[in-house]
Amino acid sequence: MTTTADQDKPTTSPLADRSQDDASDSALVRAAVQGDGRALESLVRRHQAFIYGLAQRMLYAPEDAADATQEIFINIVTNLASYRGEAAFRTWAYRIAVRQLLAFKKGRVEHVVHDFDCFGRTLDATPDLDPPDEGSLPVDVRLVIEEAKIGCLMAMLLCLDRDHRMAFVLGEIFEASDAVAAAVLGISQDNARQRLARARQQLRQFLTGRCGLIDAAGTCQCARKTAGFVRQGIVDPNRLRFTEVHLERTKAEAPARARELQGYVDRVYAGLLRSQPMAVTADFATVLRRMLEQPEVRRTLDVEH
């Protein structure tokens, strides 16, 4: 039996060239503009995981990603009546998301990680130590090492300027085609390809010979850096950002992920980042109910409560 929750979930990749959800998205938009609050909630729930995942990969900190996601949905909702259907709703909505993320205030971690030189110095200054002893931390040491790994991979994205970071996130992590990436970015396909190629090149230059996930002889090994990250407060075992809710999945997929690390550096790095689930820390459809109390939203949509 199909439930309301099932209907709220996208059935194909959000950045697929074609999606069977496009027609139902359009129907939900029409109903929402006519005042159907449930349709509006369904529309938000269907797209909130992707938009939040995009925000987190652009901004790193879950708190910043949540703030940006809420602002994006306020913009989408208040402009919903202007959607004319020339493109798929998701293309229109994701273009809004991209514009706002590129212009969003500098995030907490972006104030610290400026570029590859800055990040490289941070890694070099972090001592190589044995992993913390079992029982010395409030959570499984393997989980803390995984947190250090994911945090490092995510921080590397911040070394790219926002335009190139967005091109990489769309093209490699979310596997958008040139056409879809160009449409969402609002640039030509040639420019989208060039941005992605430059982002790959910069990441390749930084990772080669350094990252132990890419090269077993690399100078930087996740397990050896974890204790140093904990001491510096970069990783907080009492407040894991990325891994706590995904421990079982990480354990189950670890052997397959290890095999995947044999291959082309661009593909490996993107694959590692792509494997991180798009966790949503808040139900933005619930947040939407509070948004609907705002005068600018109520003037735009006559939503039934």
Listed residue (273, 43, 259) closest to 155, CA to CA: 273
Give me the pLDDT at residue 295, please. Answer: 62
CATH ID of 4-300, from 1.20.140.160, 3.40.50.1000, 3.40.50.10420, 1.10.4190.10: 1.20.140.160
Give me the pLDDT at residue 262, please. Answer: 39
Q: What is the pTM of this model?
A: 0.80
Give me the residue spans of the domains in the chain: 4-300
Residues 6+ apart with CB under 8 A from 67: none
φ and ψ of 220, to 5 deg: -115, 115
SS3 per-residue string spanning 143-200: HHHHHHHHHHHHHHHHCCCHHHHHHHHHHHHCCCCHHHHHHHHCCCHHHHHHHHHHHH
Q: Scanning the structure block, which residue is given the tokens 């703030």?
A: 67
Give me the pLDDT at residue 301, please. Answer: 54
Give me the pLDDT at residue 180, please. Answer: 95
CA 182/CA 170 separation, integer angstroms: 10
Give me the pLDDT at residue 213, please. Answer: 85
Q: What is the pLDDT along the chain (305 residues), one digit of tens a residue?
A: 344 455 576 767 888 888 888 999 999 999 999 999 999 999 999 999 999 999 999 999 888 999 999 999 999 999 999 999 889 999 999 999 999 999 999 988 898 898 999 999 999 999 999 998 988 989 889 889 989 998 998 899 999 999 999 999 999 999 999 999 999 999 999 999 999 999 999 999 999 889 988 877 888 999 999 999 999 999 999 988 887 554 444 445 444 444 443 344 556 566 666 655 555 556 776 666 665 666 655 555 554 44
Listed residue (33, 64, 8, 93) closest to 297, CA to CA: 33
